[in-house]
Structure 1
Amino acid sequence: MSIFEGIAAIKIVLLGGALFVASLQDLKSREISDKVWGVAIPLGLMLTILEIIITPGYPYILALLSGAFSVALAFGIYYLGLYGGADAKALAAIAATFPLPPYGIFGASPFFPVTVLGNGIILSLLLIPACLMWNLLFYLRGKSLFSGLAVRWWEKLVAVLIGVKVKATTAESVHFNLIEKVREDGTRCLRFIHKVEDGEEDRERKEEDEKSKEREGITKGEEVKRGGEDLVNVEGRGFGDEERPHAPRGHHYNYNYKHDYDYVWVTPAIPMIVFLLAGFILYFFVGDLVFRIVLTFWYK
């Protein structure tokens, strides 16, 4: 094994290990220690700099462009609220460790972090047939998918493609995001888009929730404003036991539902970082999926 192959192998183990540990932490608690990136990013960057120094003719300008573009893309998507800060840091770790494809043995975009992201996004699409199958089996068991919900036809279509209907108690899991919402008039509807909260924002939200529990409850039906939305508060002291609501975890906007809602709509909360790990591993078997798909249609 040459020194170049040795450095590449160390980088693969480093990045793969960091993504693996981060995925386990995210699946378990939806929180990832910053120590993971505090180790992976500096070490990955040091190895990349070493690789540039000892490799004759290394395309360092292309590597710099790839790294800069990937980091900008990562945090741009984060600030748009499309995924969490940990996912952005994961993409930054990939950019620091492999700005260019390792070994270069597969047809791929020179922007390797984008390759991993593309592979991960394509793999995440496998959730669509899984959700369809789940909802079909739910319907075949004689259960209603949209009973009690005020939804339009296209909302039903989106729901069965990206969501599943589960027991209200199951929705409390950290592995689901609630997509139901109660309007001011008490009707239930679906909400598909919400900003991802992560890290410090999530901790602040939890602290605020804890403080609110210590305050005196708000009268049932009283309007409250949270996050720029008008909601009807159904979570206050003075309710009878039969009316006390459950507040599911794993969702990213304020919503309460009563215990007599047997089933609610949720989306599987499989962290994006899991798909980044899968996309990274997949590269070494099939290469850049997006690149291959584009080339397939281009040469048809």
Structure 2
Amino acid sequence: MIQELFIIDGADAIRITICIVMLVVASIMDVRKREISDKVWVSALIAGGLVSIVLMPTHLQYDELLVRYLLSISLTAPLAYIAYIKGLFGGADAKALIVISILVPSYEMHYSIHGIPALTVLTNASLLTLANVLHNVFRNLTAILKGKDIFKGFDEPLYKKMLAFMMGYVARPKGYLFALEEVRDGKRMFNLAPKADSEFVEQSDEIWVTQALPFIIYITIGFVLMLLVGDLIAYAINLTLLTK
């Protein structure tokens, strides 16, 4: 396991701090401007690189360091790039994960499946977004119980309605929301795959929308959880086994 190679030292602690500062700054920029300057990533890489050079760990052999970096970067970078080109998240999110894979290639997590911090951050962040599903289902159930026809005007198959039920809700959009529907040939149709770089929608009429909270915020929280707990999936599995 990679974490067996890891003994936290001053350099590791500083690089972790650099990542936290980087993610917080990026989150603030994304919320305020919906754009993150590449200077954030470059600055973090330069600072982390200088720390690595000045405080080179003596307890690890160079071949061990190489294994750490190669595994972390080679597994994280392609996955982040594929997710970006598929529109699952933005380019800034991919860059954040790649920088994390470089600055924190390993970490002794309390609970871990594969031992790659950057991938753990990604899975943690993805799990956190599931809270939106619970929120959407609750809102839609509440609307139905109040007698509202949330699918009025839609001639869509049941599976699309079920997906929309979990992915979004009906509201007068304002703020960090993406439209979950569009008009085609005069008919209302669901658009269940809004791109990460889609425009926020604001209008007075009620439409189907989905939360557009910047994914970098989930990455930031996922990073902190990785430090404190580790992999949330591994943690959940451990809890399940303990209860049996």
Whether TM-score is above 0.5 comes out as yes
Q: Which has the larger radius of gyration?
A: 1
The aligned residue for residue 97 of structure 2 is: 91
CA distance, structure 2, for counterparts of residue 29 and residue 151 of structure 1: 36
Give per-residue Cα distances to partners, 1:83-133, cap 9 Å, x unaligned.
Answer: 1100001101111110111xx152322211001111111111111111111
Q: Residues 134 and 166 of structure 2 are in contact (CA less than 8 Å); yes or no, is this contact kept in structure 1? A: yes
Per-residue deviation at 1:279? 0.7
Residue type matched to 1:288 in 2? Answer: D
Alpha carbon RMSD of aligned pairs, Å?
2.7
The aligned residue for residue 250 of structure 1 is: 200
Runs (5+) with no aligned partner, structure 1: 203-248
The aligned residue for residue 76 of structure 2 is: 70
Aligned residue among 27, 47, 65 for 1:43: 47
Aligned residue among 111, 129, 133 for 1:124: 129
The aligned residue for residue 147 of structure 2 is: 142
Per-residue deviation at 1:70? 0.9
The aligned residue for residue 80 of structure 1 is: 86
The aligned residue for residue 34 of structure 2 is: 30
CA distance, structure 2, for counterparts of residue 106 and residue 29 of structure 1: 36
Give per-residue Cα distances to partners, 1:216-257, cap 9 Å, x unaligned.
Answer: xxxxxxxxxxxxxxxxxxxxxxxxxxxxxxxxx416xxxx98
Residue type matched to 2:154 in 1? Answer: L
Per-residue deviation at 1:40? 1.2
Alignment CA distance shift 1:48-1:64 (3 Å): farther
- Find the residue that maps to 1:165 and give its secondary structure: strand
Residue type matched to 2:130 in 1? Answer: L
Runs (5+) with no aligned partner, structure 2: 1-6
Matches within 5 A, 1:1-300: 5-48=9-52, 53-57=57-61, 59-60=64-65, 61-101=67-107, 104-108=108-112, 109-167=114-172, 171-173=173-175, 175-184=176-185, 186-197=186-197, 249-250=199-200, 262-293=205-236
Whichever structure has more helix as a proportion of its residues is 2
CA distance, structure 2, for counterparts of residue 181 and residue 49 of structure 1: 53
Residue type matched to 1:134 in 2? Answer: R
Q: Residues 180 and 194 of structure 2 are in contact (CA less than 8 Å); yes or no, is this contact kept in structure 1? A: no
Residue type matched to 1:110 in 2? Answer: G
Alignment CA distance shift 1:277-1:74 (3 Å): same
Runs of 4+ with >4 A deviation: 48-53, 293-300
Q: Residues 87 and 195 of structure 2 are in contact (CA less than 8 Å); yes or no, is this contact kept in structure 1? A: yes
TM-score by length of 2: 0.84
Alignment CA distance shift 1:286-1:274 (3 Å): same
Identity %: 33
Per-residue deviation at 1:7? 1.9
TM-score by length of 1: 0.70
The aligned length equals: 234
Alignment CA distance shift 1:52-1:284 (3 Å): same
Q: Residues 115 and 290 of structure 1 are in contact (CA less than 8 Å); yes or no, is this contact kept in structure 2? A: no
Q: Residues 11 and 97 of structure 1 are in contact (CA less than 8 Å); yes or no, is this contact kept in structure 2? A: yes
